[in-house]
Structure 1
Amino acid sequence: VHQGRAAEHLLAKVFIKPGDVIPMNYHFTTTRAHFEIVGGRVLEIFGSEALQTESTCPFKGNIDIDKLHDVIHDYGAEKVSFVRMEATTNLIGGQPFSLANLREVKEVAADHGIFLLVDASLISENAYFIKQREAAYQDKSIAEIVREIMDLADICYLSGRKSCSARGGFIATSNKTLFDRLRPWLPVYEGFFTYGGMSTKEVEAMAVGMREMVDPDVAGASAQFVRYFVERLVENGIPAVTPPGGLACHVDAHKFLPELTSFEYPAGALAAAVFLTSGIRTMERGTVSMDRDPVDGKELASDLELVRFAVPRRLYTMSHVEYAVDRIQWLYEHRHLIKGLKFVEEPPVLRFFLGRMAPLDNWGAKLVAAFQADFGSDC
């Protein structure tokens, strides 16, 4: 497929019926949008530690097995489209699941005739964390761990831009019944099976990326940078998500800006403030990233308000991290200047992509004036 959300579109169209529920460890923005558009309902059944941004829990991406049993009992197996597990859950700070938990999830799902779907976009980092944090796998290679995850999955899909470092995406399954259900729809939306909307060059690049991603030095590259970044922020009293996860260093905007409510968009405001004072483009992962309730149109508050400082592998140096820490530290000391935001243009779906926002009380100008007073107008 041409990208990860194209895979989500096909999976939603083929496997989700109106009124179905989809239990998962946590949603991703485009995933939730695709599933809800076809009438499904996302159920996040994470463990008790998942939303604790200061934690030592090594696998905050695990599914709560008791909650999974409850979902199946309450809704009936026939109403559960599938169980979805996301490798290094993006919206709660890049937190991994354990293989022990994945195996339990598969057993419960299989016992009720429900298939297991794995979002493998960041599978190499999840495998790296399993090797680092799960005692039974310390002597296993990244490739062996990835293979075991895939053996448990009935379907896996991914965005190639993450672990594979390539454009495009794919859906993979060894289940002939599931394959036959997907097969007729791929040419309708993506092109034929040999390319799926991707160029030959992109397919070749993804094949190389899949081989490289299981190299221990590659799989751990971003994770090690993220750990250093998080540790430096914590040393300076900045509320960063712990334990350090994959993909990015995440700052807890609720703790950074405790006076702002969810509907004043603290993560969005902090992301804007970071850009104004450093030129660093971060990503809001909070209420701005939530779509409105599909039934009544009410705005939904996010569980967490995070600002994502993505750390792509093979790109940054230690000096980049130190620069970011220095500017975040200055911003933390002047956080009283940061106020909220409001939407001035709000699209009906995935509003964080194309929506436009404005600052409340013109706080951006006041923040820039304070910054220039300390660093000068040419900085």
Structure 2
Amino acid sequence: MPKTLIEPFRIKSIEPIRMTSRAEREQLLEAAHLNVFKLRAEDVLIDWLTDSGTGAMSSRQWGAIMEGDESYAGARSFYRLEAVIQKITGMRFFVPTHQGRAAEKVLFTAVCKRGDVVPNNCHFDTTRANLEYLGVDARDLVIAEGLQPALIHPFKGNIDLERVQALLKEHGDRIPFGMITVTNNTGGGQPVSMANIRAYAALLKQHGKPFIMDVCRFSENAMFIKMREPGYEHTPIRDIVKEMFSYADGATMSAKKDGMVNIGGFIVLKSEEWMDAVRNVLILTEGFPTYGGLAGRDLEALAVGLEEGMDEDYLRYRLRTAEYLGERLEAAGVGFVRPTGGHAVYLDARTVLPDMPVAHYPAWALCNALYLEGGIRGVEIGSVMFGKRLDDGTETYHNMELVRLAFPRRMYTQSHFDYAAEVIDEVKQQAAGIRGVRITKQPPFLRHFTCECAWVDR
């Protein structure tokens, strides 16, 4: 039996990559104020900035697009997607949004108030920002193992139930609901076990608190459960997914991940009362509840994509892809979050640049180095993304300095990953010459998207 796990698809359409030189990239990065978000996509060789909405759609999805009903209200495309989501989640009340952060904004606006506290394993950037914008305290309560990049643990995305219990005891009257993110994007794309989801749900129920899941990568999380959690080895992915959702009272999703589409998101709830409040905000901000900021063709593509994203052959290939790059990096002595997650490999900048002070933003510096050396665009998940500049000019720093290399779905082949491994190894060899940065301009929220930086002298 062959040991090589091949891509479970054939390529039907391609997009050329523009090759650039090191000298070109130096000029382009300077013009972008040392912020890879500001680069033009055409100037990037391998774009691993995010897996959100950047993948390839299938021929079935493209065919479904032609079925899109663009009626303003009551479009059949809405009801087709509604039926798929109700079947997958077991929840009755559903509205689409144009993407995940819109789902967060609508839900949080509807049910949160200033002074509330919301626990999560780890809030990702937009989740945290949407809560903090409303004056809500977003608490990260991932298990201790989830903060140790080199430590091997099958479910580093698990939430620390003892800390949740303590938070409920201290601030129970201020907690509108508890959240969990599957997989845990901030902490390395790490999965959450079914046992942890079940116990967390029971704890919240004991205190009368609803349980909301952020399910951007629910299919990948289900595959990790199948591969790593005893008792689920022979359980079909759809059944694992159904059990995961059965413990929740609602969910938000950026469908641009495991929905396998380029745009879209949704909110699904068990509570009609909450959905009434959600619809009021949705109409004000996103549009009528049967389109939620999306075209009918997008609803059709998502209905197909949610089903395709649960295919076990695809998921096995997807997880193996990240594992393969991890093996190449381990052989080269490059530090990364272990074990590899489902959608990305997270480089540990503190091990690649051990002598760089955190005040020079080592993960940001490593991001820039990857682009300069090989045209690879990743994203910093460290103190630029999650740190803050306080009123007195001092900075708070994140507990990890990571560079996420997130893989668009069904887009890159093994040779792209081999090339990336070589580039990362080259960067590691040149670590002593990599320069840190200082922030020269930043907005009050989500500064990593638009901040401007300058080199720090060595």
Which bracket does the TM-score occupy, shorter chain normalised? over 0.9
Q: Where does 1:181-330 land on structure 2 (aligned, <5 Å)? A: 181-290=277-386, 292=388, 298-330=394-426
Distance 2:114 2:391 in 1: 13
Out of 254, 257, 263, the position equivalent to 1:159 is 254
1:377 aligned partner: none
* 1:222/1:311 contact within 8 Å kept: no
Q: Which has the higher contact order (CA 8 A, sep 6+)?
A: 2
Match of residue 24 from structure 1:
120
Separation in 2 of the partners of 1:289 and 1:242? 21
Shift of 1:313: 2.5
Aligned partner of 2:98 in structure 1 is 2
Whole-angstrom CA distance in 2 between matches of 1:171 and 1:228: 34
Alignment partners' CA distance in 2, 1:30 and 1:200: 26
2:192 aligned residue: 97
Could you say which residue in structure 2 is the equivalent of 1:175?
271
Deviation at 1:337, TM superposition (A): 0.3
Q: Is the 8 A contact 2:387 2:397 kept in 1?
A: no
Deviation track 1:40-60 (CA, whole Å, cap 9, x = no partner) reads: 101111112011111220001
Aligned-residue offset at 1:298 = 4.7
Q: Match for 1:115 among 210, 213, 221?
A: 210
How big is the shift at 1:296? 7.1
Query: In structure 1, the residue corresponding to 2:163 is in which secondary structure?
Result: helix
Contact kept in structure 2, 1:291 and 1:349, CA below 8 Å: no
Match of 1:137, SS state, is: coil
- Paired letter, 1:18: R
* Separation of aligned partners in 2, 1:219 and 1:186: 33
CA displacement, residues 152-181 of structure 1 (integer Å, 9 cap, x when unaligned): 111111111100121110000122232223
- Aligned match for 1:130, one of 197, 202, 225: 225
Distance 1:202 1:113, change over 3 A: same
Q: Is the 8 A contact 1:157 1:171 kept in 2?
A: yes
Q: Which residue of 2 aligns with 1:88?
A: 183
Q: Secondary structure at the match of 1:251?
A: strand
Could you report, residue by residue, the CA deviation over 1:248-271 in whole angstroms, capped at 9, with x for unpaired residues? 011100111111222211010000
Report whether the alignment pairs 1:359 with 2:426. no
* CA displacement 1:63-83 (0-9 Å, x = unmatched): 1111111000111x2211211
Q: Deviations over 1:345-379 (max 9, x none)?
A: 21111111111112212x7xxxxxxxxxxxxxxxx
Q: Which structure 2 residue ranges, 5 or more long, are not aligned?
A: 1-96
Shift in Å at residue 297 of structure 1? 7.1
Q: Letter of the aligned partner of 1:69 in structure 2?
A: Q
Q: CA deviation at 1:333?
A: 1.0
Q: Tell me how large the CA RMSD over aligned residues is.
A: 1.4
Shift of 1:291: 5.0
Distance 1:73 1:294, change over 3 A: farther
Q: Which moved more, 1:271-280 or 1:335-344?
A: 335-344
Aligned-partner Cα distance in 1 for 2:286–2:295: 12
Mapped contact 1:53–1:240 kept (Cα < 8 A):
yes
Percent identity over the alignment is: 39
Contact 1:240 1:249 in 2 (8 A): yes
TM-score (norm 2): 0.77
What is the deviation of 1:339? 2.0
Q: CA deviation at 1:292?
A: 2.2
Aligned residue in 2 for 1:69: 165
* Number of corresponding residues: 361
Q: CA separation in 1, counterparts of 2:272 and 2:397?
A: 40
Deviation sequence 1:227-249 (CA, Å, 0-9, x none): 01011101111001101112101
Report if the CA contact (8 A) 1:291-1:351 is conserved: no
8 Å Cα contact 1:190-1:196 kept in structure 2: yes
> CA 1:213 to 1:294, structure 2 compared with 1: closer, same or farther past 3 Å?
farther
Tell whether the 8 Å contact from 2:387 to 2:398 is kept in structure 1 after alignment: no
Amino acid at match of 2:239: E
Task: List gaps (5 residues or longer) in structure 1.
Answer: 364-379
Amino acid at match of 2:264: G
Please state if 1:141 is matched with 2:239: no
When you count helix as a share of all residues, which structure comes out higher? 1
- Partner Cα separation in structure 2 for residue 359 and residue 297 of structure 1: 19
